[in-house]
Chains A and B, each alone.
Chain A
Amino acid sequence: MTVARSRFATSAAALVAVGLTLTACGSKAGESTDAGAAGSASCLDTSGDTVKVGSLNSLSGTMAISEVTVRDSIALAVEEINADGGVLGKQIEIVAEDGASEPTVFAEKAEKLISSDCVAAVFGGWTSSSRKAMLPVFEDRDALLYYPVQYEGLESSSNIFYTGATTNQQIVPALDYLKEQGVRSIYLVGSDYVFPQTANRIIRAYADANGIEIRGEDYTPLGSTDFSTIVNKVRTADADAVFNTLNGDSNVAFFREYTNAGLTAQDMPVVSVSIAEEEVVGIGAQNIEGQLTAWNYYQTVESPENTSFVEAYKARYGADKPTSDPMEAAYTSVYLWKNTVEKAGSFAVDDIQAAADGVSFDAPEGTVTIDGDNHHITKTARIGEIRSDGLIYTVWESDGAIDPDPYLETYDWAASLSGN
């Protein structure tokens, strides 16, 4: 009996292990979603004195960490606009939905917001897979999505406004900065999914053209917690710098290992593109002090617009809450929508698309302007240094806002990339 039972237990445990692994894979796979019947006219009703917009963010699941702050900043922008008289004299009403960290749920909820809530525009999305899942819905329904997060580029849709950085506003300036600092060899570390892999392809192309040697390229599964081997590899490779595209909790384990192995920002600086102010708290400022980040906005940016944004955010959500790049981009996206609507004098998608080119807003990061051709916005690139107070301070910034170039068409070295 004992033997029989333990055999059963063994196979049950094995089944469970396999099951869990499969679920983990499955949740990443579900990217394509059929949006169903296409082309119905918008049911947007603008006769009343309010206008509805959707706020679609993951409020549960692994991405909730980050996306809740985006929801909060969208709400803040809407409150400010309403207090200031609304858009075209109408008060904005938010319909909030939970994307639950699942691309398929994002697609379903987007469909619901468009066809049953009849919203004028939707704000939100974070992961590239959630955006890719929503894209066909917005295109079929001819609706508008404002997507606030930096991403891997190589995309442009007339139904999406991208208010986060594309690669030439974040990764390319970071490489320019490293090159300027005399970095001649780099090591690439990233999580194993679409953003890091695409980013690293771009980095390789840049490195080839600029005489920078890539000493190694390593990916770890999302959520990976053991970095001792990778840190050993990085140490042996002895590169001038590390380019880090790890996502989420892996960063904590990576930086602790890195620091404990005796590697410092002075010997081998790490440039990260997914670590913002909130992540620094979990990593512990003492483990990441002196390391670099590449973004377009930090809480410490000095401008009157940012001062009032930070004050308003802290007054609304708590003095200990930092503001970060995606939050600022989400906040900005609401104002850009408002400014476009006011320029067009209409909430209709066609009118907004037609009026979008050249619409600008004095955002906390500086003045941003919509590019009507690719629906991205101009952004100032900033390299920041993480200090012991957990905040990030700008050490370098681009000369003014950089025009968005999602397909890197204006860069000769990137010619080989567009083939994909």
Chain B
Amino acid sequence: MDIVAGQLFTGLSIGSILLLAALGLSLTFGQMGVINMAHGEFIMAGSYTAFVVQQVVSSAGLSLFVSLFVGFLVGGALGVLLEVTLIRRMYHRPLDTLLVTFGVGLLLQQATRDIFGAPAVNVVAPEWLSGGVEIAGAVVPKTRLFILALAVACVIVLICTMKYTSMGRRIRAVVQNRDLAETVGISSRRTDVTTFFLGSGLAGLAGVALTLIGSTSPTIGQSYLIDAFLVVVIGGLGRIEGAVIAALALGLLNSFIEYSTTASIAKVIVFVLIVIFLQVRPQGLFAVRTRSLV
């Protein structure tokens, strides 16, 4: 019983981590269609922000919350910088964007290595997040509970932003029909920048959260990038609900398959399942229906 509970929670936890990593991407890639290979490095920037903040704010508990905020801003700022300098010039050229952002990612990685050194740095988790809680016979690390809660909070805030704020409505309008949105007076340029800020900021936020469980090294972002893209593709481009379901499904699949086989085999099986799924449903779980005529 405690095994099932343990793996169930592990699955939820993996899912929530994937979701955090993918949430920003569901905006920049899902909504805007920009394949941003530097998204992983925005995650990394968030992680290193947590490290830097911890050098300044010595209380680990306080520094975590400060980092979440600063990490969001740092990620967002990097995103805006990238959008304004490069990506803006390459809309409608997805392959060029892909290569350029991949290059930017490598630059950021190397810069981090030069500034902070190649070995992983240590971000100390706050005292109140150390250890675990027993739930239904399984010991659940508190750090993972925190990440789960953070992911839920991010999803709720993001969905509300998209649904109920004028900014969200503008973003959706531009996604559904850029020309029509412009004719009613929405600046699609400014909306693009806002979307990119939000998406990249969420990557930074994810980076801060990831320091609680993994290593903070220059390659941290890379290890989550592919999984994040998969979540968005499976969920269906442009649909946050899709990303949520896809992330949880991948997490649960992973945890149960890994428990009964091995980590390497589980990865293979999950990839095969994804390929089959995309054969059957290339548009993902949900597809955005638009009335766009073009």
B95 x A12 contact (CB < 8 A): yes
Interchain CA distance A149-B111 in the complex, whole Å: 29
Instruction: Considering the complex, give the chain B residue whose CB is closest to the CB of A256.
Output: B213
By a CB distance below 8 angstroms, the chain A residues around B194 are: none
A229 x B214 contact (CB < 8 A): no
A1 x B122 contact (CB < 8 A): no
**Would you call B58 an interface residue if the criterion is a C-beta within 8 Å of the partner chain's C-beta atoms?**
no
**Would you call B85 an interface residue if the criterion is a C-beta within 8 Å of the partner chain's C-beta atoms?**
no
B139 x A252 contact (CB < 8 A): no
The listed residue (A10, A17, A281, A286) touching B284 by CB distance below 8 A is A10
Interchain CA distance A259-B139 in the complex, whole Å: 11
B142 x A260 contact (CB < 8 A): yes
By a CB distance below 8 angstroms, the chain A residues around B63 are: none
CB distance from A142 to the nearest CB of B (A): 35
- Chain A at the B interface: SS class: helix
B98 x A16 contact (CB < 8 A): yes
The listed residue (B113, B122, B259) touching A233 by CB distance below 8 A is B259
CB contact under 8 A between A262 and B131, given known A220-B264, A225-B223, A286-B124? yes
CB distance from B79 to the nearest CB of A (A): 18
Looking at A224, A230, A261, the one whose CB has the most chain B CB atoms below 10 A away is A261
**Would you call B112 an interface residue if the criterion is a C-beta within 8 Å of the partner chain's C-beta atoms?**
no
CB contact under 8 A between A253 and B264, given known A62-B219, A260-B142? no
A68 x B118 contact (CB < 8 A): yes
By a CB distance below 8 angstroms, the chain B residues around A252 are: 120, 214-215, 217
Give how many A residues have a beta carbon under 8 Å from the other chain's beta carbons.
53
**Would you call A192 an interface residue if the criterion is a C-beta within 8 Å of the partner chain's C-beta atoms?**
yes
A65 x B119 contact (CB < 8 A): yes
Interchain CA distance A62-B94 in the complex, whole Å: 29
CB distance from A274 to the nearest CB of B (A): 14
By a CB distance below 8 angstroms, the chain B residues around A7 are: 282-283
B219 x A278 contact (CB < 8 A): no
A6 x B217 contact (CB < 8 A): no
A226 x B139 contact (CB < 8 A): no
What 0/1 pattern do residues 218 to 239 of A give for CB contact below 8 A with B?
Answer: 1111011110111011011000
**Would you call A351 an interface residue if the criterion is a C-beta within 8 Å of the partner chain's C-beta atoms?**
no
B215 x A253 contact (CB < 8 A): yes
By a CB distance below 8 angstroms, the chain A residues around B125 are: 256
By a CB distance below 8 angstroms, the chain B residues around A232 are: 3, 6-7, 10, 138, 259
Give how many B residues have a beta carbon under 8 Å from the other chain's beta carbons.
69
By a CB distance below 8 angstroms, the chain B residues around A224 are: 263
B282 x A10 contact (CB < 8 A): yes
Instruction: Considering the complex, give the chain B residue whose CB is closest to the CB of A251.
Output: B215
B229 x A13 contact (CB < 8 A): yes
CB contact under 8 A between A228 and B95, given known A16-B229, A65-B119, A219-B263? no
Instruction: Considering the complex, give the chain B residue whose CB is closest to the CB of A260.
Output: B141
B213 x A257 contact (CB < 8 A): yes
By a CB distance below 8 angstroms, the chain A residues around B255 are: 228-229
A14 x B233 contact (CB < 8 A): yes
Which residues of B in the span 1-56 have a Cβ within 8 Å of any Cβ on A?
3, 6-7, 10, 13-14, 17, 29, 33, 35, 37
Interchain CA distance A253-B17 in the complex, whole Å: 13
**Would you call B292 an interface residue if the criterion is a C-beta within 8 Å of the partner chain's C-beta atoms?**
yes
**Would you call A284 an interface residue if the criterion is a C-beta within 8 Å of the partner chain's C-beta atoms?**
yes
**Would you call A64 an interface residue if the criterion is a C-beta within 8 Å of the partner chain's C-beta atoms?**
yes
B124 x A12 contact (CB < 8 A): no
**Would you call A283 an interface residue if the criterion is a C-beta within 8 Å of the partner chain's C-beta atoms?**
yes
The listed residue (B7, B143, B215, B237) touching A225 by CB distance below 8 A is B215
**Would you call A21 an interface residue if the criterion is a C-beta within 8 Å of the partner chain's C-beta atoms?**
yes
Interchain CA distance A260-B124 in the complex, whole Å: 13
Looking at A9, A223, A262, A281, the one whose CB has the most chain B CB atoms below 10 A away is A9
Number of A-B contacts (CB under 8 A): 162
Interchain CA distance A219-B265 in the complex, whole Å: 10
The listed residue (B7, B37, B122) touching A16 by CB distance below 8 A is B37
By a CB distance below 8 angstroms, the chain B residues around A8 are: 94
B118 x A262 contact (CB < 8 A): no
A249 x B217 contact (CB < 8 A): yes
B14 x A226 contact (CB < 8 A): yes
Instruction: Considering the complex, give the chain B residue whose CB is closest to the CB of A11.
Output: B282
B132 x A229 contact (CB < 8 A): no
By a CB distance below 8 angstroms, the chain B residues around A1 are: 292, 294
A223 x B237 contact (CB < 8 A): no
A225 x B131 contact (CB < 8 A): no
Interchain CA distance A6-B108 in the complex, whole Å: 27
**Would you call B183 an interface residue if the criterion is a C-beta within 8 Å of the partner chain's C-beta atoms?**
no
What 0/1 pattern do residues 34 to 60 of A give for CB contact below 8 A with B?
Answer: 000000000000000000000000000
A12 x B6 contact (CB < 8 A): no
CB contact under 8 A between A249 and B215, given known A65-B118, A261-B132? yes
Interchain CA distance A262-B132 in the complex, whole Å: 6
CB distance from B118 to the nearest CB of A (A): 4
By a CB distance below 8 angstroms, the chain A residues around B283 are: 6-7, 10
By a CB distance below 8 angstroms, the chain B residues around A13 are: 29, 35, 229, 232-233
B119 x A220 contact (CB < 8 A): no
By a CB distance below 8 angstroms, the chain A residues around B37 are: 16
Interchain CA distance A261-B224 in the complex, whole Å: 23
B226 x A2 contact (CB < 8 A): no
What 0/1 pattern do residues 281 to 294 of B give for CB contact below 8 A with A?
Answer: 01110011010101
Interchain CA distance A284-B121 in the complex, whole Å: 8
**Would you call B176 an interface residue if the criterion is a C-beta within 8 Å of the partner chain's C-beta atoms?**
yes
A221 x B267 contact (CB < 8 A): yes
**Would you call B172 an interface residue if the criterion is a C-beta within 8 Å of the partner chain's C-beta atoms?**
no
**Would you call B238 an interface residue if the criterion is a C-beta within 8 Å of the partner chain's C-beta atoms?**
yes
A219 x B122 contact (CB < 8 A): no
Instruction: Considering the complex, give the chain A residue whose CB is closest to the CB of B10.
Output: A228
A12 x B217 contact (CB < 8 A): no
Assuming A9-B29, A249-B219, A286-B124, what are 7 further A-B pairs, CB within 8 angstroms?
Answer: A16-B37, A219-B263, A228-B10, A232-B10, A260-B130, A282-B122, A283-B122
**Which A residues contact B (CB, under 8 angstroms)?**
1-3, 5-10, 12-14, 16-17, 20-21, 62, 64-65, 68, 192, 218-221, 223-226, 228-230, 232-233, 235-236, 249, 251-253, 256-257, 259-262, 278-279, 281-284, 286
Please list the 6 inter-chain residue pairs (A to B) with the smallest Cβ-Cβ separation, ordered nearest first: A282-B120, A252-B215, A260-B141, A1-B294, A220-B263, A249-B215
Task: List 15 contacting pairs A-B, 8 Å CB cutoff, sorted by A.
Answer: A2-B175, A16-B98, A62-B219, A64-B113, A192-B264, A218-B262, A228-B13, A228-B141, A229-B254, A229-B258, A251-B215, A252-B217, A262-B131, A262-B132, A283-B122
